[in-house]
């Protein structure tokens, strides 16, 4: 009898260990108070983090697989986790009041994420978001292609900024009058993966996939690679339809780009800096230090592209079904409300659409501030800016709408559910700039 049981056990184990694309991966995430060492202070800074890490653990899974995330809230206030950019079951989208109840202190929530798209994504809370993100809660989630990509190296840089006081503490006031009158909370310390100007050692000849994620509350990044040329191969978690050189790509909060970089084979000993060039005061974000070692053979291959993904002509005879005017007024719980069609969350002006029918939405910014508008659960294409045809060779999930600018986007609702739509400047969203797009079966 015993031996039969052990044979059965062996068979069971073999079955469970079978690698296959629809495999499940278990991950435990705990939101907690912890400490982080910034180089500017002698003492550590109190932060809020996932698993005590800044940034949170890098989560990776293969396209087609399912991530089973056991989330525990060890904070003193409710929270949730939203998986930015992932097209998943609406019930797993992590928006309190829309797709789930807030996860109370001491409680758990199980997220099941079936990974439909390969690319660069990230995760963060969707509750008291200015403060929870501002104190450090965020991490990167990468969905790998089914076929292993032949890059020499895959680098992941989560760009962030922190508003730190001289005493080493995080400035503890959020959604302030100042933040709401301007473009939200901009920090005074820029970090990459929680570090100040980190150096990444690479080898001559390497072909690198560099993934840049803007996880800041409000800051826009304009990354510039000094002395290196780079191609943009993916935007917001989706391969571009046509690869193009990185010139001036503004990453607003929420945006990601994947770059294809080749380190010249004669670059041994060189250091390339990556700077933020948004303002005249340039900041060094990080650098690539090329080792003196012998040059490696540069892999020769074409990165994936998504030529046919929701082509612009799908929207040719489609009328704009919703225009959202973006503006502020006096009122709301913070004294200044950020509104969409003069309404603030939760009394929002919502949209609802049938499954599979192409839609056009226009964001009309009548304010003089920035609004990176994000829609959960869809990839959309920018079709027009200020009434002029726009031709972006990629789709997005977040688009920056500049002062007095109007942007028309098109998308095909493919996933039923209620998808939050909001400005990704956290304090604007908290002050009301949120609504939903409901996709009905």
Positions in the binding site for ligand C2O (CB under 6 A): 82, 84, 124, 126, 254, 374, 376, 420, 422, 424
Q: Are the C-beta atoms of residues 239 and 306 closer than 8 Å to each other?
A: yes
- Which residues touch 173 (CB under 8 Å, ≥6 apart)? none
Structure-token match 């109007």, residue found? 406
DSSP per position, 326-385 = EEEEE-STTSEEEEETTB-TTS---EEEETT--EEEEEEE-SSS-EEEEETT--BEEEEE
Instruction: Enter the DSSP assignment of 285.
Output: E
Binding partner of residue 422 among Cu ion, ligand C2O, none, CB under 5 to 8 Å per kind? ligand C2O
Binding partner of residue 428 among ligand C2O, Cu ion, none, CB under 5 to 8 Å per kind? Cu ion
Smallest distance, ligand C2O to C-beta of residue 143, A: 16
Nearer to ligand C2O, 34 or 435 (CB): 435
- Which residues touch 427 (CB under 8 Å, ≥6 apart)? 130, 174, 175, 176, 179, 180, 184, 185, 217, 218, 334
54 binds Cu ion per the rule CB under 5 A: no
User: Binders of Cu ion: how many residues, by CB under 5 A?
Assistant: 4
Nearer to ligand C2O, 36 or 376 (CB): 376
Structure-token match 């990185």, residue found? 246
Q: Whose CB is nearest to ligand C2O? A: 84
Smallest distance, Cu ion to C-beta of residue 429, A: 7
Structure tokens at 115: 């990974």
Smallest distance, ligand C2O to C-beta of residue 375, A: 9
Binding partner of residue 371 among Cu ion, ligand C2O, none, CB under 5 to 8 Å per kind? Cu ion
Nearer to ligand C2O, 185 or 203 (CB): 185
- Rounded Cα distance between 297 and 205, Å, is 6
Smallest distance, Cu ion to C-beta of residue 396, A: 16
Binding partner of residue 237 among ligand C2O, Cu ion, none, CB under 5 to 8 Å per kind? none
The window from 21-29, 108-116, 342-350, 416-424 that contacts Cu ion (CB under 5 A) reads: 416-424
Other C-beta atoms closer than 10 Å to the C-beta of 26 total: 9
**Interacting residues toward Cu ion by CB under 5 A:** 371, 423, 425, 428
């Amino acid at each position: 009898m015993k031996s039969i049981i052990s044979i059965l056990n062996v068979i069971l184990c073999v079955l469970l260990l079978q690698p296959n694309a629809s495999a499940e991966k278990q991950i435990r995430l705990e939101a907690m108070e912890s400490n982080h060492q910034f180089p500017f202070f002698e003492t550590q800074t109190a932060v809020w983090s996932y698993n005590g890490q800044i940034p949170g653990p890098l989560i990776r899974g293969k396209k087609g697989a399912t991530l089973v995330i056991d989330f525990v809230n060890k904070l003193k206030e409710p929270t949730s986790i939203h998986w930015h950019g992932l097209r998943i079951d609406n019930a797993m989208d992590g928006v309190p009041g829309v797709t789930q109840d807030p996860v109370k202190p001491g409680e758990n929530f199980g997220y099941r994420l079936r990974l439909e798209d390969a690319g660069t994504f990230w995760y963060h809370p969707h509750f008291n978001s200015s403060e929870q993100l501002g104190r450090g809660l965020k991490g990167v989630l990468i969905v790998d292609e089914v076929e292993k990509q032949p890059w020499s190296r895959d680098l992941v840089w989560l760009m962030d900024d922190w508003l730190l006081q001289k005493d080493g503490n995080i400035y503890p006031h959020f959604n302030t009058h100042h933040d709401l009158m301007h473009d939200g909370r901009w920090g005074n310390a820029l970090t990459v993966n929680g570090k100040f100007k980190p150096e990444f050692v690479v080898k001559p000849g390497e072909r690198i996939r560099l993934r840049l994620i803007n996880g800041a509350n409000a800051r826009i990044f304009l990354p510039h690679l000094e002395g290196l040329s780079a191609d943009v191969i993916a935007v917001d978690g989706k391969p571009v339809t046509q690869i193009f050189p990185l010139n001036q790509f503004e990453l607003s909060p929420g945006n990601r780009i994947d770059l294809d970089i080749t380190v010249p084979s004669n670059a041994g000993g060189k250091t390339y800096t990556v700077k933020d060039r948004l303002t005249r005061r340039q900041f060094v974000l990080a650098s690539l230090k090329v080792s003196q070692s012998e040059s490696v053979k540069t892999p020769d291959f074409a990165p994936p592209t998504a030529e046919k993904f929701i082509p612009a002509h799908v929207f040719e005879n489609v009328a704009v079904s919703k225009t959202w005017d973006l503006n502020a007024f006096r009122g709301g719980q913070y004294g200044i409300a950020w509104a969409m069609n003069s309404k603030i969350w939760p009394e929002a002006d919502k949209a609802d659409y049938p499954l599979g029918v192409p839609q056009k939405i226009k964001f009309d910014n009548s304010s003089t501030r920035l609004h990176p508008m994000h829609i959960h659960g869809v990839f959309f294409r920018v079709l027009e800016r200020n009434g002029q045809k726009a031709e972006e060779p990629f789709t997005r999930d977040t688009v920056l709408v500049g002062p007095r600018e109007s942007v028309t986007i098109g998308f095909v609702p493919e996933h039923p559910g209620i998808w939050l739509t909001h400005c990704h400047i956290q304090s604007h969203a908290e002050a009301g700039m949120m609504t939903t797009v409901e996709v009905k079966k």
